[in-house]
Structure 1
Amino acid sequence: MKFVGVDGCKAGWCAAWVEDDRWGVGVYPLFADLWAEHRDARSVLVDIPIGLADDANRTAEKLLRERLGPRRNSVFNTPAREALHARSKAAAKAINRKASGKSLSEQSLGIMKKIAEVDSFLTAHPEAVEKMFESHPELCFAMAAGHPLAYPKRDVPGVVERYEILQRFVPDVRGLLDRVREYHSASKVAGDDVFDALMLAVSGRQGAGRLHSLPEPVERDANGLPMAVWYAEFDKQ
């Protein structure tokens, strides 16, 4: 069985996968390209919001922040569906403020195009919905470590912290990162993009057939898409 983890990057989408203990990594310009190659996966865990509330208030974000504690700032507000297709950042902020009483951060605005890409893809490919799971790398790292991580992912101690966790599950983390570097610079695919994709693939395999969700039971948006963040339980070390 194949398990895939996906993180957005400047070059498109960074994916990591494991199948029968063989690991791979790749970068895809479009989400549809990724699906075309990995539609045979048991699960695809994606670090992008799936399911959009009309009022921009998803229980998933609230519960995720509570779980992450010191890393709660890594959770960005998901925009209201109407704000997703606004013509400008200012318009998106205004629409979101009207819908929810909250504006949108630059981080949220920065991933709007990717949210829209995945939302459009899943609307056009309902057969993919049962395999696609919104997840969050910081939650997955925390579950594997047994506690929220101590350092931000781009700080040197944070890189070391995450590398050491991945080494427990992935035989050649350095080699996989080097493979990405053969074709993509760090400005297009950052090291943390690769680490995040690997951690999501690890979690997909760990939780095969038994992923848990925040919230539970799962909420759904007006289009029937799930609004939940999925994760796996790990054995205590």
Structure 2
Amino acid sequence: MILGGIDGCKYGWVVITKSQSIFQYFFIKKIEELTELFKNQKARFFIDIPIGLSSREFTRTVDTRLRSELGPRSSTVFNAPCRPAVYESDRQKAKKLNIQIEGKNLSEQTLNIKDRIQEVDKYIFKNNAAI
């Protein structure tokens, strides 16, 4: 079994894996390359990007729960955008959508990774990936 972690970087994504005590790293431009890179191999990945986004029909609760468990380090968890805001190309409209659905504005940090969040959201739905 391959275990790995994924994080966004300037190039695209950095993927770090461990299998049988051997660590490796890869750079991929698009998250979709993950499927081909680990084709026919059992693998589990942790990705540092919000998944399971809120919508009008679904409320994401993991951020609130995580903040309560982290105590003094709770500020390290930022608000994930709702799905409609992630798919809105206009930043101001995205902020308004998020306020309507989540009751919260979007930070510049969130707006700066919005495209990465959308990329992973599309990947999950396209591949029926388990969350």
TM > 0.5: yes
Tell me, in whole angstroms, the C-alpha distance in 1 between the residues paired with 2:76 and 2:6: 17
Counterpart of 1:23, as a letter, is F
Counterpart of 1:25, as a letter, is Y
% same residue: 34
Counterpart of 1:80, as a letter, is C
Counterpart of 2:27, as a letter, is V
* 1:57-76 paired onto structure 2 within 5 Å: 57-76=59-78
Larger Rg, first or second structure (1 or 2): 1
* 1:179-218 paired onto structure 2 within 5 Å: none
Matched, 1:50 2:51: yes
Partner of 1:108: 110
* 1:78-227 paired onto structure 2 within 5 Å: 78-126=80-128, 129-130=129-130, 226=131
Runs (4 or more) in structure 1 with deviation over 3 Å come to: none
Tell me, in whole angstroms, the C-alpha distance in 2 between the residues paired with 1:104 and 1:83: 9
Q: Taking structure 1 as the reference length, what is the TM-score of the superposition?
A: 0.51
CA deviations on 1:112-149 (whole Å, 9 max, x unpaired) are: 111100111111111xx23xxxxxxxxxxxxxxxxxxx
Deviation, structure 1 residue 10: 1.7
Q: Helix, strand or coil: the match of 2:101? A: helix
Alpha-carbon spacing, 1:50–1:75, altered in 2? closer, same or farther (3 Å): same
Q: Taking structure 2 as the reference length, what is the TM-score of the superposition?
A: 0.89
Q: Helix, strand or coil: the match of 2:32? A: helix
Do the aligned residues in 2 keep the contact of 1:4 with 1:41 (CA within 8 Å)?
Answer: no
Counterpart of 2:63, as a letter, is E
Partner of 1:145: none
Range with greater deviation from structure 2 (42-51 or 66-75): 66-75
Partner of 1:28: 28
Do the aligned residues in 2 keep the contact of 1:11 with 1:29 (CA within 8 Å)?
Answer: yes
Deviation, structure 1 residue 15: 0.8
Do the aligned residues in 2 keep the contact of 1:7 with 1:47 (CA within 8 Å)?
Answer: yes
Deviation, structure 1 residue 70: 2.5
Do the aligned residues in 2 keep the contact of 1:14 with 1:26 (CA within 8 Å)?
Answer: yes
* 5+ residue gaps, structure 2: none
| Two-structure CA RMSD over aligned residues (Å) | 1.6
Tell me, in whole angstroms, the C-alpha distance in 2 between the residues paired with 1:8 and 1:68: 23
Deviation, structure 1 residue 57: 4.1
Tell me, in whole angstroms, the C-alpha distance in 1 between the residues paired with 2:33 and 2:85: 26
Q: Helix, strand or coil: the match of 1:31? A: coil
